Chain A
Amino acid sequence: MTRALPQVTPPPFAPPCPVGTPCLAPGDVVRVLPGGGGPGHVRTPWYLRGAVGRIERICGDFPNPEELAYGRDGRPARTLYRVRFAMAELWGARAERPEDTLDAEIFEPWLEPVHAS
């Protein structure tokens, strides 16, 4: 399948927030995981589930909001990435401007690397 993949130019500075050992790097192609059907506070919007995009930058490590939501401390902190998607990837034929892109900030547990063939 041919997927529209946006280009990225990572910022020329280090992440503004502390970051430990990120598993992904700017430029990597990633897929947003589909998630389960269970209950709970989920921080990855539905319209991005399963979509393929490219890491634009590393934002830093932050307490996990899906744990903070229940009054826990959110540790260990999770790496947050800004991921860029082509509108054509997200909306298909419904995209008003397929060449436009959308950036979303997504935590590492929701992303898996896609190895371009």
Chain B
Amino acid sequence: MRTDDPETGRRWHDMGGDAAGPAPGPDHDFALWEKRVDALVQIAQAKGVFTVDGLRRALEDMGPDAFETMTYYERWVAALAQNLIEHGVVTVAELDARMAQVAARGETYGDAQGAAE
């Protein structure tokens, strides 16, 4: 795993020129929640409460462990949340309460719609 190098100032995410291996092909679709994360990012930008620069900064500061263990859109939604908290759009407590409420609906969209009852 790459780490920040305090000797040179090269940060963990700055991978340009390193061996990257094969590029994954376009043989995957996006889940509904991933499309919603993309939409949230677009809306937050249009509202002027978020920038792609802030997204990148938050992703970088999440560190190499997050890069290895979280998926692309998991990292995006975490970085978006970080930026919205910093911008004062939501508080930590509000976000926690809402996430608990959503989690209580169930594991799947079917559960959330009451299919499990």
Contacts and interface: CB of A to CB of B under 8 A. Distances in A.
Interface stretch (B29-37, B48-56, B92-100): B48-56
Size category of the B interface is 10 to 19
B9 A65 contact: no
Nearest to B58: A69
A36 B16 contact: no
Contacts, number: 44
Interface in A18-59: 34-38, 41-42, 45-48
A48 B16 CA distance: 9
A36 B9 CA distance: 6
B87 interface: yes
B53 A65 contact: yes
A45 B18 CA distance: 12
Interface of A: 34-38, 41-42, 45-48, 65-66, 68-71, 90-91
Interface of B: 6-11, 14, 16-17, 51, 53-54, 56-57, 60, 83, 86-87
> Considering the complex of A and B, which 4 residue pairs feature the smallest CB-CB distances, nearest first?
A37-B9, A69-B57, A68-B53, A41-B57
